[in-house]
Amino acid sequence: MMMEAERDVRIRSGAKRRPRPCSASYIAVRDALYQLTRLNDFKSEKIGGGFYADVFKVTHKSTGEVMVLKMNKNSKFSRQMLSEIQLMNRLSHPNILRSVCLHQLLGRLSVYTCIQGFF
Ligand SMILES: Nc1ncnc2c1ncn2[C@@H]1O[C@H](COP(=O)(O)OP(=O)(O)OP(=O)(O)O)[C@@H](O)[C@H]1O
């Protein structure tokens, strides 16, 4: 069965070109990277942490935009982070965050999401 995301890529790629199959994780990363962001652009404050990631409240220095940044503690947790991003972006509900952009530094993957819920 074709995944929803794969079907989207096939539709977007047009009828003439032969569609290249893309994995769901490739699509998650590609979609999130459209808006590249540097960590140095933010002031950050640690607000929590789970098993595999630390969570920061980040404020963009020039725009003042506030977001939540979740960064895995170790590069070996990148797969978990990607699965979480894929799941978040597949669901659409006012109480479920969506990733705004993604950032990778020394193999540690960070996801930026809108801030919601706890604040
Ligand atoms: N969007 C958010 N806004 C405010 N605080 C948040 C947000 N996301 C996470 N946090 C804080 O960071 C903590 C850890 O978040 P995380 O998503 O890693 O939790 P978890 O899913 O409980 O962890 P685990 O990976 O161990 O299951 C949360 O308990 C919460 O305090």
List, for residues 20-70, the tens digit of each pLDDT value: 667 777 766 666 554 456 677 888 899 999 888 889 888 888 888 888 888
- Give the pLDDT confidence score for residue 13 in this predicted structure: 41
**Best of 47, 69, 78, 95 to mutate for ligand 1, by most ligand atoms within 8 A of CB?**
47
What is the best residue among 55, 81, 96, 111 to mutate for testing ligand 1's pocket, by most ligand atoms within 8 Å of CB? 55
Q: Is 117 in the pocket of ligand 1 (CB under 6 A)?
A: yes
Whole-angstrom distance, CA of residue 58 vs CA of residue 46: 9
**Prediction ipTM score:** 0.92
For the CA of 118, the nearest atom of ligand 1: 4
Instruction: For residue 49, give Cα distances in angstroms to 44, 88, 108.
Output: 14, 18, 15
pTM (predicted TM-score): 0.67
